[in-house]
Amino acid sequence: MSIQSAKQKVQRLPLWRGPVDPQPLGGGITNINFVVEDAGKKFVVRVGNDIPVHQVMRFNELAASQGAAACGISPNVVYHGEGTLILDFVDGITLDEAGVRDASRLPQIIELIKRCHTEMPKHVRGPILMFWVFHVLRDYAGTLRDGNSKHLEALKTLMKAADQLEHAIGPIDIVFGHNDLLPANFIDVGDKIWLIDWDYAGWNSPLFDLGGLASNNGLSETQEDAMLEAYYDATVTDDLRRRYAAMSCASLLRETLWSMVSEIHSSIDFDYSQYTVENRGRFERAYVKFTERF
């Protein structure tokens, strides 16, 4: 769907009190997003249908968004319809990697993630997906083969690494994960930090969110140890450090294959090829470090 078609769809929604002029909201690489002002209030409108190649199902996103709002960690859901989700607009600072790493914010973010993991199960309703990164990776690999991706030559090596990482992680605990902790999914409004965009939410190991937070935002080893100690309220053992490091690598590999798939399946105006290069580089550096250490 083009931005113009999406804008027209938003204008026709039945909840507006008068004519609206949706303004594109940057940053979306899965949906087309707008800010709409209506009757003196602002809203964020997310336009996007199911994306089976990414295992994004809108019923799941809606349930997670409603559960997160009930927990007080994400904005209220105002309206939902076919291919649209409308939330209250949050006026704050959309974080970048340096913002997430900031010493004054990182402890708040870790506590926010812990709240997501422990409180969301009390509020989500209806069917909820399981997000197991290694299933996602295997499915992405199949999609890339089906689509004759230009990355097929590298795929065998990448999936061999995935098998090694899955074995290193071993048995897991299950929590309710956000599963997409990119910096732009945190908004600082001054007195609190919001967590937004629940496209990939679902049951998962806590290590995936913790590893994703670190790998997507460039946390230092000292910050990683402090994060694990704060989350588990315990000294970090060598076993936990190894399993966590493996999941951090898996998080980067998932982002890499996500981008490879998007190169051949997404119509959104975004440089997925460059995003693939950046994330593959991050993964390879992390994986070399993992194999040398463990």
Structure tokens given for 284: 């390879």
Q: Helices 238-265 and 133-146, interaxial angle, to 10°?
A: 30
Whichever domain contains 75, its CATH number is 3.30.200.20
User: What is the pLDDT, as a whole number, of residue 30?
Assistant: 73
Q: Is 33 strand, coil or helix?
A: strand
Q: Please identify, among 57, 88, 119, the residue that sits at the C-terminal boundary of a domain.
A: 88
Q: Is 138 strand, coil or helix?
A: helix
DSSP 176-231: EE-----GGGEEE-SS-EEE---TT-EEE-HHHHHHHHHHHHT--HHHHHHHHHHH
Same domain membership, residue 101 and residue 75: no
Same domain membership, residue 247 and residue 123: yes
Q: By the 8 A CB rule, do 148 and 184 touch?
A: no
Same domain membership, residue 213 and residue 137: yes
| CA 91 vs CA 42, 148, 158, 190: distances in Å | 9, 43, 40, 10
Rounded to two decimals, the pTM is 0.93
Q: Please identify, among 88, 122, 145, the residue that sits at the C-terminal boundary of a domain.
A: 88
Whichever domain contains 171, its CATH number is 3.90.1200.10
Angle at 176 between CA 56 and CA 213, to 5 degrees: 80
Same domain membership, residue 132 and residue 256: yes
Q: Please identify, among 54, 88, 122, the residue that sits at the C-terminal boundary of a domain.
A: 88
Q: Is 15 strand, coil or helix?
A: coil
Q: Is 81 strand, coil or helix?
A: strand
Q: Which residues pair with 42 in a beta bridge?
A: 37
CA atoms of 262 and 29, how far apart (whole Å): 9
**Mean pLDDT of each 10-residue bin along the chain, 294 residues long:** 87 93 80 92 94 94 98 96 94 96 96 97 96 97 96 96 97 96 95 96 97 93 96 95 96 96 88 94 95 93
Which of 138, 200, 142 lies closest to 166, judged by CA?
Answer: 138
Same domain membership, residue 244 and residue 104: yes
Same domain membership, residue 132 and residue 58: no
Residue with tokens 């230092």: 220
CA atoms of 200 and 72, how far apart (whole Å): 19
Same domain membership, residue 227 and residue 179: yes
Same domain membership, residue 127 and residue 80: no
Q: Exposure pattern of 221-255 as b/e (b: 16+ CB <10 Å)?
A: eebbebbbeebeeeebeeeebbbbbbbbbbbbbbb
CA atoms of 232 and 223, how far apart (whole Å): 14
Same domain membership, residue 61 and residue 176: no
108 membership: H or E segment, kind and range: helix 106-119
- For the chain, what is the domain count? 2
User: What is the pLDDT, as a whole number, of residue 281?
Assistant: 96
User: What is the pLDDT, as a whole number, of residue 269?
Assistant: 78
Q: Is 47 strand, coil or helix?
A: strand
User: What is the pLDDT, as a whole number, of residue 27?
Assistant: 64
- Domain range for residue 186? 93-293
Q: Position 176: which residue type? A: F
Q: How far apart are the first and last CA of the chain?
A: 46
User: What is the pLDDT, as a whole number, of residue 28?
Assistant: 65
Same domain membership, residue 285 and residue 221: yes
Same domain membership, residue 40 and residue 135: no
Same domain membership, residue 247 and residue 134: yes
Structure tokens given for 111: 């506590």
